[in-house]
Chain A
Amino acid sequence: MTKAEEKPVLFPKLPDVCVRCATCMAACPVSRVTPRFPGPKQAGPGAQRFRSASEASVDDWIELCTSCRLCDTVCPAGVPISELNLMAKSKYLNERGRTFRDWLLVRSDLFGELAARYSKIVNPLMKNGAVRWLLDALLRIDRRRALPAYEYPTFRRWFRTRPAPEGGRRKVAYFYGCFTNTNETDVGKAAVDVLEAHGLAVVVPPQRCCGIPRLGVGDLRGAKEMGRWNVDSLLKTVREGLDIVFSSTSCGLMLRHEYGPLLHLPGAEELARRLFDICEYLLCLHEEGKPAVTFQPIPMKAAYFTPCHLRSLDIGLPALELLRLVPGLDVSLIEAECCGLGGLYGFKKEKFAIAEEIGKDLTEAVARMKPDIILTDCEGCRMQIRHLTGLRVLHPVQLLRDALERRGIG
């Protein structure tokens, strides 16, 4: 009676698995703020029963789904709601065609290096009122949303030119992601510092954009191309016996859970088994008690925010657990469901108001907590929370690095 392995539970990927219980309606951040999006129950399995590959899409609201995937995390029936939405969005945009703006925004990985090289010119331009007015009018990139500044040298260049630590250490590979490379290089530097403080040697394998921005505009083929390139490169690292850590939750979710199950890339499963969120990895090291790393006190009131894609990774809250190890740091969880940015979503003029309205809940939660600093693993969330609260927002590894170095921050 109790042989558990005999019969795996089946979760057929069909819209008919949906029992219309409406739990997802309690989780969707978009339908919570606008009646224009009917919500995951209707947009996903509900509409799916009427969709046909041979007929033109009529569900233009499907574009309003932010792909936060919160619906998937609450569904009691295992309906792949966000995947149904993504497929419908992809079909709709394939038929209608994508705008030049969408084409451009998902290719930031291509011009990022160049923009970083000329950041002294590019950054003032991106803050310039006239330029922003033009971007708003011509491309519909909302001028009320600050564009992230570029940094030079890039993380990759910094890493190449720094002295390597002494030999004989166990190696770990790092997937830094585009944003860390060209816009938030300190996250990458902190990741390397913290990993090295744990007795590891960091290597940076060749990598490209993970492809999740392309999924956001339903470009499955483009996402697959990026994925194939990354799997080929990263598998070499894995086959040398290395684990790979990522510091961006969205890149991590894409690499670990979309390359295989969604994009069916060969080798994706082998890669996924060796991929870890950086805080998940560090927490493991602490629990194994291997390197005796101790943190210095940082007397501060901090608030931690859970990115939606971290919920999909379903690894708990390793960053929060690590932060609790820092003496003096009073850290609590922000009780809000989604920051609202949705990656590139919140930059688009027609969606800006939705992103702002979703973010209001977070702003109010933060106002009640009055923290000195906010910590969160996702670059999108960090951008949005800075925009909404004006507070200092860091990746948890940045604070951990500061705690290691006996250095005050702020």
Chain B
Amino acid sequence: MKRFDLIVIGTGLAGLTAARTAVEMGAKVLIIGRGMGALTLFGNTIDLLGEIQPETEMAEGIPRWIAAHPEHPYARTGMAGIENALADFRGLFPPPYSFAALGPGNSLLPTGAGTMRPTYLIPATMAAGAAMTPAGTLIVGLRGFKDFQGDTVSLHLKCRGVTLSLPRYGMEGLTALALARLMDEASFRERLGGAIRRQMAAERFIGLPAVLGFRNPAVVLKTLEEITGARVFEIPMLPPSIPGTRVFHRFREELIAKGADFRMGHPVSGANVKYGRCEGITVQNPPLATEYRADRYILATGRFLGGGLWAEMDRIVEPLFHLPVFQPGERGKWFGERFFDPEAHPIHRAGIVTDADLRPVDETGRVVLENVRAAGSILAHHQAIEEKSREGIDIATGFLAAKRALAS
């Protein structure tokens, strides 16, 4: 049977980062996911910490924040860990489709809900959104594309908005992927650029849904900017996320090229645990169950959506290794009174508590499984949604988990 140096469970941003970090260190890696991971849901920009002001250096703001949140996953990685991990991530996306910070701290980017949202690393196709002004911006919606309501966006951003009919289909029900694929065609994006130009008054910025091409978004952006003479930016919208899918595919391409074994589509259903170590995991592909073995394991299965955490009637469990889970109190207190409470719902604090090495620990701080580490949103004591820290946690802890796993 094939034996791996490391098995990563989970194909979200944390798992992909862990696998890539390990492959770069020369390890023989198996990465395995029940589905495609959450990059298609959230992955648009790289959030680090929403409350850092645009003029505050991350390197100043985050250490201060960590000092006040000693249990947060960032306290395990430290600012240096975050910076190293982000540099590695950026290395995977060379120009022209690169990720960059636009200032010392966060930048505000328009969203598909018509709000301005703070975020840190921004793909080249969204950068111009940070510089837009309401009077100088035209928001372009596409008729029949339900996942982006240009009218709502322009209303809330106080910009002018238009909804264009598509040059070719003009039919209901086009998906984000269908549009992104059409954008990859030169003739389509040129016609769209022409149609936008005819609608322009004196705007200097054009906002479009985040569907500017799948294969070569920087080229799509360039074409549209040349034709319109304005700066063009993508606006994040409802899933599936095209920018997130680009990130997923880039990681998968790189991992396979570097010799990682990439598996997707079937759940890891059990772990073989002996004397405080994981000896193997079982993958269900009915009617078969196959065991895979490695010296080390990284658990990056996410929270409730990905199946990393599971809510029973009275408690939250981790269904694979049955690791101790930090509990959010009794069930009646899992959720706040209002859905959009500014405070996170207590259930979001649930998760795996680890030592400095990201190894899960029990209530007394004792390491539960010597060769298993946890990374990403499954960790306890963060509020990724409210903090706007999801991608930062994924990248920083995925990176650290792989480094520490292979050092052991």
Residues of chain A touching chain B, judged by Cβ–Cβ distance below 8 Å, are 1-9, 11, 19, 21-23, 25-28, 31-35, 38-39, 72-78, 256-257, 260-261, 268-269, 272-273, 284, 287, 311-317, 320, 324, 332-333, 335, 361, 364
Contact = CB atoms under 8 A, between A and B. Distances in A.
Interface in B232-280: 238-240, 245, 249, 253, 256-257, 259, 261-267, 269-273, 276
Contact of A335 (B35, B239, B253, B285): B253
Contact of A26 (B172, B245, B265): B245
A8 B319 CA distance: 8
Nearest to B266: A314
B362 interface: yes
Leading 3 A-B pairs by shortest Cβ distance: A73-B265, A76-B35, A74-B36
A333 B253 CA distance: 8
B239 A314 contact: no
Contacts of B245: 26
A4 B321 contact: yes
Given A21-B239, A23-B36, A333-B256, A257 B319 contact: no
A364 to B, nearest CB: 8
Contacts of B178: 31-35
Contact of A21 (B41, B181, B263): B41
Contact of B175 (A39, A316, A320): A39
A22 B239 contact: yes
B167 interface: no
B305 interface: yes
A23 B181 CA distance: 16
B202 interface: no
B339 interface: no
Contacts of B173: 35, 38
Interface of B: 2, 34-38, 40-41, 144, 169, 171-178, 181, 215, 238-240, 245, 249, 253, 256-257, 259, 261-267, 269-273, 276, 283, 285-288, 305-307, 310, 319-324, 362, 368-369
A273 B286 CA distance: 10
B322 A26 contact: no
B265 A74 contact: yes
A5 B270 contact: yes
A355 to B, nearest CB: 15
Contact of A32 (B175, B257, B271, B286): B175
Contacts, number: 155
Contacts of B269: 8-9
A178 to B, nearest CB: 24
Nearest to B180: A32
Given A21-B40, A76-B306, A311-B264, 6 more contacts: A4-B321, A9-B267, A32-B175, A74-B40, A78-B34, A315-B263
A9 B36 contact: no
B322 A3 contact: yes
Q: Which of A7, A26, A72, A314 has the most CB of B within 10 A?
A: A26
A332 B258 CA distance: 11
7 contacts: A1-B362, A2-B273, A32-B177, A73-B265, A75-B265, A260-B287, A361-B181
A35 B169 contact: yes
A22 B176 CA distance: 10
Contacts of B319: 7, 9
Contacts of B283: 314
Contacts of B310: 9
A380 to B, nearest CB: 20
Nearest to A29: B177
A382 to B, nearest CB: 21
A182 to B, nearest CB: 30
A165 to B, nearest CB: 28
Given A22-B239, A23-B239, A23-B240, A72 B265 contact: yes
A2 B368 contact: yes
A22 B265 contact: no
A268 B287 contact: yes
A317 B288 CA distance: 18
B272 A4 contact: yes
Nearest to B302: A76
A76 B172 contact: no
B181 A7 contact: no
Contacts of B264: 73-74, 311, 314
Given A9-B267, A76-B38, A22 B240 contact: yes
A226 B299 CA distance: 42
Contacts of B259: 324
B263 A19 contact: no
Contacts of A34: 178
A332 B267 contact: no
A320 B260 CA distance: 11
B287 A9 contact: no
B208 to A, nearest CB: 19
A314 B262 CA distance: 9
Nearest to B41: A21
Given A32-B177, A314-B265, A333-B256, A22 B307 contact: no
Contact of A35 (B40, B172, B276): B172
Contacts of B174: 35
A34 B177 CA distance: 11
Given A76-B34, A257-B287, A316 B262 contact: yes
Given A2-B273, A23-B41, A272 B288 contact: yes
Nearest to A9: B319
Contacts of A317: 256, 261-262
B35 A4 contact: no
Contacts of B144: 35
A189 B306 CA distance: 44
Contacts of B320: 4, 9
A320 B144 CA distance: 41
Contact of B181 (A8, A33, A269, A332): A33
B2 A287 contact: yes
A39 B178 CA distance: 11
A371 B168 CA distance: 33
A23 B35 contact: yes
B171 A35 contact: yes
Contacts of A361: 181
Given A26-B36, A26-B240, A2 B177 contact: no
B238 A261 contact: no
A73 B267 CA distance: 10
B270 A8 contact: yes
A159 to B, nearest CB: 28
Contacts of A335: 249, 253
B324 A27 contact: no
A27 B40 CA distance: 10
Contacts of A5: 270, 272
